[in-house]
Amino acid sequence: MLLKKHILYLFLILIPNLVFTQDNILAFEKNILHQQLSQQTIEVIYEGTNGFLWIGTDGGLNRYDGNEVKHYLNYSRDINSISNNLILSIIQDSKNNLWVGTKNGLNKINLETNQIARYFSPTISGNMIYSLKIDENKILWIGTDKGLTRD
Write out pLDDT tens, residues 105-134: 999 999 999 999 999 878 788 899 999 999
List the end-to-end C-alpha distance of the chain, in Å, as a whole number. Answer: 72
Query: What are the sequence ranges of the domains in the chain?
Result: 37-150
For residue 11, the model assigns a pLDDT of 47
Percent of the chain beyond pLDDT 90?
A: 62
Which 8-state DSSP code applies to residue 49?
T
Q: Which architecture does CATH list for 37-150?
A: 7 Propeller (2.130)
